[in-house]
Amino acid sequence: MLLSGLTNTVYKILIIDDNIQNIFMLEDILSPLGNIFFSESGTNALALVDKIKPDVILLDIEMPDMDGWEVCRTLKANPLFSDIPIIFITGHTEPEFERLALESGGVDFITKPFNASICCLRVHTQLKFRQQNQLIIKAKEELQQLVNQVPMLITYWDDLGQNLFSNDNTGLWFDSLVGDVKNKHISTIFPEALSNAILNHHRHITSDALKYIVTVPQSVGLSFYEVFQSKMKSSAGVDGYLVTVVDVSEVKHAKQALYSEKERLRVTLNSIGDAVIATDTRGLITFMNPIAERMTGWRLKDALHQKIEDVMHLKDSDTQQPLLNPLYLALREQRIVAMALNSLLTSRGGHVFYVEDSAAPIRNENGEMIGAIMVFHDVSEAMAMAMKMSHLANHDQLTDLPNRILLQDRLSVACSTARSYGTKAAALLIDIDHFKFLNDSLGHQYGDELICMMARRLRSLIPASYTLARLGGDEFVILMSETRSVEASSQLASTLVEAMHEPFVLDNQKFNVSISIGVSVFPNDAVDAEELMRHADVAMYRAKQEGRNRFCFFSHDLESSLMERHHLETRLRKALINDELFVHYQPKIDLQTNIIIGAEALVRLANDEGELISPAEFIPLAEESGLIIMLGKQVLNKACAEAKRWLEMGHTIPISVNVAAAQFADPDLAGMIKKALLDHNLPAHLLELEITETALMIDAADMQNKLSELISLGIKIAIDDFGTGYSSLAYLKKFNVDVMKIDMSFVKDMLNNKHDYEIVKTIISLGKSMGLVLIAEGVETKEQSHALVELGCFMGQGYLFSRPLNSTDFEAFISQSSKCVKGINSVDE
């Protein structure tokens, strides 16, 4: 049995074969058994064996640089690897090869072609054999270690008293045991009294251990040994007998030493960590242990026969009034009495200790009370620790301000007081604007320092009667209790916002920091403390929405709008989890021939009643909540699947998919797109990604690298809503994009507004000069279409041709067209 227990073994299997196909085949067969390693060369395999220490080796016989026989002989000659089972694999089936394999040290022989189940079983068998061997070796090692470590002498003797084994060869038990004592007679090894006793008992022992104690005279006194003696049998009869010896001298001597009750009591009381004072029935001290001496400042010789109250001065920690020593209650009531809580002990030298514990009467053997004993200990550190733990539990570790727990308690008290006295309580929730950006750019050490500086500045701006708490992160709360008017909270919030105009100095650098504050007033805005905080959070969110660096009061309309936002986010999350999003497709048309040249995939979301929700509502929410990456992935896969289906129907229609800026920040974007193309077997040239020019400008250098990576996949890139952002033409020139989409806001009024017409004309001219394909969005009239063609833009999309259609209606739309041609990839609406 293993003392250390069994562990879950992950086997390491090494395949040595110069044929990579064989390796792949064996890897596929054997991978359920463990981790697979391989080498195509015998020479390299020898180095790999030393590195990975495999549990089994599958070895090909015929290899160019070093054949399997030589590899096997080399491994078997090395003591470090000789126990690794080697299974030969070969195409030869002749018995001679199998014989040579076994003679050279192999344990099995697998022929090609491989039978997967038999091959797996053979390898599994060898792995199990190896595991069992290792367990046996481990068990032997642990047994030997156990025998060597047990605090007893273990010996084994033949029937004539000759030694066959001893776990002591260092003389730890007896000087005569030093060195090799095998085959020596017991009388020459053990003390005479011990060897005689063992020999005398020899004829009476059975397989059941005989137990007895032997007293052995020593130069320094008597030693006591407890002996266990039993027969050891084999199939041939009695081989000998096992003798184990335990030194019980210490126990014997301890029992004798502790026989006296007085000595036993002295040893015990002087060794414990509590203070002990014993008295007679009159309260006169008869005993004090060293701890009691230290705490009272009295030595036992001075305190003997003194009244306990003269030695042990007890006071109440709250009132400082003297306390009756509980020992007197124990004497009077003849029972155990606990010490009063909050007891203070003042020592002779003036040191003060918080103490607690109890007093109990002492009785003699007849049950008569002969005195009492006082047991107490110092709880000063424990009480200080309790106070510290209470403080830590209720205060923020970074700023030492009240935390959420303590704030909640004070909020409840403030609301209760305001309700009782007809006053008001206000909660100001403060959030540092753009703190995450500051924290990430400065580093967390400076971020923490800024939090502490903010806490100090806020604390300096409010009266001591107000509570300033930190909720965590960059959020603070100021609780104004017992205020008379709402205007007071407005004035304070204004003061706080203005006070942030003074920059903070970190590492000799100035940083301008602003805050957003949400204000909620009880009982105007809330009925309890929980609602007060929730409404302050709502108001703070409004301050953020309105541009930050300001404060806002709570309103019910604000709460309603946030609840609607919450419901929309919940619906969006549910749709993403349950794959309930669907995609509409808007055709892209050649303005000269009216032929379909592509389609733009546009995501759609329905509410619980089945009504469509505007993308203008849920797309920004997806970006704010971080759901845009999951949303984009689902739309991409649905669009690729649809484009592949069109291709199988004979329609080569490129599909364009919008990609948000947050998706470009995802390092796995290229991998996700590549997987989507592979999963749906869609040619890369039929996929186009649309991204806004503003998103391109977030990090131009990084974006250029990511675009190059995407283009290398074979897909096309389009700039969406061109002209509405604030891109730099110098940067735009660097981006290797394919398509430029003219925003519908310009196309809509191009025939009615000279400025819009000139903008469209300029964009078309710019796109042509850069060699980009141009597509106009929002084409609604034939006049717009003709004007675009005249200006040199020959592709468009809009309600003139079709609204975005579901997949069924889109298929009907393309079926009406007499032909579809391979077009360029396009993008977004």
Number of domains present in the structure of the chain? 5
Q: In terms of domains, do 403 and 475 share one?
A: yes
Q: In terms of domains, do 279 and 354 share one?
A: yes
Q: In terms of domains, do 270 and 167 share one?
A: no
CATH of the domain at 32: 3.40.50.2300
Q: pLDDT-based confidence at 149, cuts 50/70/90?
A: low
Token pair of 736, please?
């290797």
The burial of 653, by beta-carbon neighbours within 10 Å (0-12 exposed, 13-18 middle, 19 or more buried), is given as buried
Q: In terms of domains, do 648 and 547 share one?
A: no
pLDDT at 556: 65
For residue 589, what is the enclosing H or E element? strand 582-590
CATH of the domain at 415: 3.30.70.270
Is residue 120 in some structural domain? yes
CATH of the domain at 720: 3.20.20.450
Q: Can you say whether residue 828 is alpha, beta or left, with left for phi > 0 and alpha for psi between -120 and 50 degrees?
A: beta
- Considering the entire predicted model, what is its pTM? 0.43
Mean pLDDT of 271-290: 89
Residue for token pair 């009504």: 611
Q: In terms of domains, do 137 and 166 share one?
A: no
For residue 356, the enclosing domain spans: 258-384
Packed helices 615-625 and 556-577: angle between N→C axes, nearest 10 degrees: 80
Q: Is the confidence at residue 393, as pLDDT, over 50? A: yes
Q: Rounded to whole angstroms, what are the CA distances from 325 to 363, 371, 375?
A: 20, 14, 12
Kindly report, residue by residue over 231-245, the tens digit of the pLDDT: 876 544 557 888 888
Q: Is the confidence at residue 163, as pLDDT, over 50? A: yes
Hey, is 476 helix, strand or coil?
strand
Q: Please, are residues 827 and 605 in contact by the beta-carbon 8 Å criterion?
A: no
pLDDT at 342: 77
Peptide bond connecting 587 to the previous residue in cis, omega within 30 degrees of 0: no
Q: Is the confidence at residue 143, as pLDDT, over 80? A: no
Hey, is 716 helix, strand or coil?
strand
Kindly report, residue by residue over 672-713, the tens digit of the pLDDT: 999 999 999 999 999 999 987 666 666 667 777 888 888 899
Is residue 773 in some structural domain? no
Mean pLDDT of the chain: 84
Q: Rounded to whole angstroms, what are the CA distances from 15 to 45, 54, 89, 128, 261?
A: 9, 10, 10, 18, 75
Mean pLDDT of 251-265: 68
Q: Looking at 398-490, which runs of residues are DSSP E strands?
A: 424-432, 467-472, 475-483
Residue 34 forms beta bridges with which residues? 11
Residue type for position 736: N
pLDDT at 338: 81
Is residue 624 in some structural domain? yes
Is residue 766 in some structural domain? no
Q: Please, are residues 279 and 374 in contact by the beta-carbon 8 Å criterion?
A: yes
Mean pLDDT of 562-574: 82
Measured CA to CA, the distance from residue 14 to residue 12 in angstroms comes to 7
Residue for token pair 């007071």: 488
**Residue burial 612-642, b: 16+ Cβ < 10 Å; e: rest:** ebeeeebbebbbeeebbbebbbbbbbbbbbb
Q: Rounded to whole angstroms, what are the CA distances from 390 to 317, 344, 378, 384, 405?
A: 19, 21, 20, 10, 11
Percentage helix, strand, coil for the chain under 3-state DSSP, each rounded to 5 = 45, 25, 30
Measured CA to CA, the distance from residue 58 to residue 80 in angstroms comes to 18
**Residue that finishes a domain, picked among 90, 118, 146:** 146
CATH of the domain at 289: 3.30.450.20
Mean pLDDT of 13-28: 88
pLDDT at 560: 64
Q: In terms of domains, do 601 and 701 share one?
A: yes
Mean pLDDT of 526-532: 90
Q: pLDDT-based confidence at 823, cuts 50/70/90?
A: very low
**Residue that finishes a domain, picked among 254, 283, 308:** 254
User: Worst-scoring range by mean pLDDT, 279-293, 543-557, 739-753?
Assistant: 543-557
Is residue 767 in some structural domain? no
Q: Whose CA is closest to 91, among 63, 105, 111? A: 111
- What spatial distance separates the first Cα and last Cα of the chain, rounded to whole Å? 72
Token pair of 802, please?
């079709």
pLDDT at 824: 35
Q: Whose CA is closest to 644, among 691, 599, 589, 586? A: 599
Mean pLDDT of 15-39: 89
**Residue that finishes a domain, picked among 326, 357, 384:** 384
Q: In terms of domains, do 416 and 445 share one?
A: yes
Sign (positive or negative) of CA dihedral 122, 128, 134, 140: negative
Q: In terms of domains, do 503 and 603 share one?
A: no
Q: Is the confidence at residue 481, as pLDDT, over 90? A: no
Token pair of 31, please?
């991978």
Task: Say what percent of the chain tops pLDDT 90.
Answer: 32
Is residue 825 in some structural domain? no
Q: In terms of domains, do 416 and 319 share one?
A: no
Q: Is the confidence at residue 803, as pLDDT, over 60? A: yes
Is residue 770 in some structural domain? no
Is residue 564 in some structural domain? no
pLDDT at 722: 75
Beta-carbon contacts of residue 164 (< 8 Å; ≥ 6 apart): 156, 157, 158, 182, 183, 240
Kindly compute the dihedral angle of the four CA atoms of residues 413, 419, 422, 427, in this order, to the nearest 10 degrees: 60
Measured CA to CA, the distance from residue 777 to residue 799 in angstroms comes to 10
Mapped to the 3 state alphabet, what secondary structure does 525-582 carry?
A: CCCCHHHHHHHHHHHHHHHHHCCCCEEEECCHHHHHHHHHHHHHHHHHHHHHHCCCCE
Kindly report, residue by residue over 360-384, the tens digit of the pLDDT: 898 888 888 999 998 888 887 767 6
Kindly report, residue by residue over 166-221, the tens digit of the pLDDT: 777 776 777 777 777 787 888 888 888 888 887 887 777 766 778 888 888 877 77
pLDDT at 146: 63
Q: Rounded to whole angstroms, what are the CA distances from 178 to 170, 172, 227, 695?
A: 5, 8, 21, 84
Q: pLDDT-based confidence at 43, cuts 50/70/90?
A: confident
Q: Whose CA is closest to 601, among 571, 642, 630? A: 642
Q: Rounded to whole angstroms, what are the CA distances from 667 to 173, 190, 664?
A: 70, 77, 7
Q: In terms of domains, do 580 and 729 share one?
A: yes
Q: Is the confidence at residue 451, as pLDDT, over 50? A: yes
Q: In terms of domains, do 427 and 532 share one?
A: yes
Packed helices 700-711 and 669-680: angle between N→C axes, nearest 10 degrees: 20
Q: In terms of domains, do 218 and 195 share one?
A: yes
Mean pLDDT of 283-296: 90
Packed helices 556-577 and 529-545: angle between N→C axes, nearest 10 degrees: 80
Sign (positive or negative) of CA dihedral 285, 356, 336, 365: negative
Q: What are phi and psi of 724, to 5 degrees?
A: -100, -10
R_g over Cα of the chain: 45
403 vs 93, residue with greater confidence: 403
